[in-house]
Amino acid sequence: MQRDIERLVAEYPDLVSSESLGKTPYGRQLWAVKLGRGDSALFLNGSHHAREWMTSSLLMKMTDTYAQAYDNNETIGGYNVRRLLNEVSIWIVPMVNPDGVALSQQGTTGLPAELAQMLRKYNGNSSNFTRWKANMQGIDLNRQYPANWNSIKNAGSYPWYQNYKGKMPGEAPEVQMMMDFTQRIDPEVTISYHSSGEIIFWHFNTPGSNVNRDKAMARSLANLTGYSLVAPEKNPSGGGYKDWFIQEYGRPGFTIEIASYAGESNVPLQQFSGIWSENKVVGLYSAGQSYSLWLNKQKAEYQQQSMSLLVGTELYTKIGASGGGIPLQPQQLQVIARKGDWYQVQATEGLGWIHPSPGKLAIIEEITANAGWSERIPAYQYPDAYSPKVTFLDPQTVPVSGRWGTWLLALTPGGNLWIDGRKATITWPEEEIVQDPATGAGITGEEQPETAAGTL
């Protein structure tokens, strides 16, 4: 899984990134993957339970498929993947419990004898670990969250292969990392994937004001997957990630149990293609819901600044429109206000709202310099790796007149085009030698901090 994450990041460096949230008790990294470029967030996670590792495969397949569709500007199930992933960042922790998954898949092979003996004891003196749900400390991670923790039902009182809730909520490092991460990315919607049973949990002491909203989403997820909704309980057991998220954030949280019921075992691998078919668009549907919830919460910020529209877009009368706008040509716009990723602008064509994709709207810093590169590089229509490539440029040095972030506006043989400044070296004109008023000695521009020359 780690190798696959690294390959995805290398293949799609401007779309996919990853980070470690920390290490598990047995030294494995807890990986988080970011897919998308938007300010709003959806959070998907899998394998809280060791034997449910099929959920990790599902989330990795989802990441790979969505990234490829974005790169090729394709639709999936009628969803415009590039538009959605420009609006939303899907954060994914594909394997919350890597210690437990390793134990469930590989048994105690390679472990110190004393540890292997202790784990077999937690497993009812059995050497068959395919049924193992807990982490390698014998704690059930989805009974560890501080949501009705004291009244969790069917909880064991000592470390075991399943259902032991620990001595206190948040005791397991994996759970603490998940709570900290959730607070940091602030998602609008979360989905925890589990197995098995083909059912969806969506309610946990949900306030009446949120029930209709959350149930509507749950019904849509049920329609997409073919799974059944679980009716709300009066006194739910709690302790799960979904329970904690709904309780703490008051936002939609779901637990989706994939696959037909597999009992105390992992889901057979031959079921994967069907599981994928049932869940293929779940992330895209949920991303759209996350974006709508996020946008509705944003407040308009008045800006009053001039920005360059570098490529055509559409001007709308209201926020959230998706068609029927007035075509805008590239021009200088007066930005009046911003709400989320929408901008109210005064254009030649009139007053309205635009929703530009990355790189189309920018404040360009005027510079006078040269940029050179030693390998063949692409040149773009506007400063974004997913904008149309106009041409490829052989190694050379050319003048540059503008900069936006890491991008450079270069005067190429084919005209003014944008290049990725990370692939070039920029050199500044050397300043004339002037007299230092303090010493009378001559100094160059390189010695003057305010006009320093050098490379970027």
Average pLDDT of the segment spanning 193-208: 98
- Residue 422 in this model has a pLDDT that exceeds 80: yes
CB contact at 8 A, 31 and 95: yes
For residues 86 and 284, give the distance between their C-alpha atoms in angstroms, rounded to a whole number. 12
What is the model's pLDDT at position 430?
78
Q: Tell me the one-letter amino acid at 382.
A: Y
- With bands split at pLDDT 50, 70 and 90, how would you rate the model's confidence at 323? confident
For residues 35 and 238, give the distance between their C-alpha atoms in angstroms, rounded to a whole number. 30
Q: Tokens representing 407?
A: 């991008």
Q: What is the value of pTM for the model shown?
A: 0.93
Three-state SS for 393? strand
What is the model's pLDDT at position 434?
43
What is the model's pLDDT at position 440?
46
- With bands split at pLDDT 50, 70 and 90, how would you rate the model's confidence at 309? very high
**DSSP string covering 3-61:** HHHHHHHHH-TTTEEEEEEEE-TTS-EEEEEEEE--SEEEEEEE-SSGGGTHHHHHHHH
Distance between start and end Cα atoms, the chain? 35
For residues 379 and 184, give the distance between their C-alpha atoms in angstroms, rounded to a whole number. 36
- Residue 313 in this model has a pLDDT that exceeds 60: yes
- With bands split at pLDDT 50, 70 and 90, how would you rate the model's confidence at 450? very low
CB contact at 8 A, 161 and 120: no
Average pLDDT of the segment spanning 283-309: 97
Q: How far is CA 428 from CA 56, 366, 371, in A?
A: 49, 13, 9
Three-state SS for 266? coil
- Residue 168 in this model has a pLDDT that exceeds 70: yes
What is the model's pLDDT at position 197?
97
- Residue 212 in this model has a pLDDT that exceeds 90: yes
Number of helices (H), then strands (E), belonging to the chain: the values are 10, 26
Q: Tokens representing 169?
A: 């909520």
Average pLDDT of the segment spanning 249-274: 97
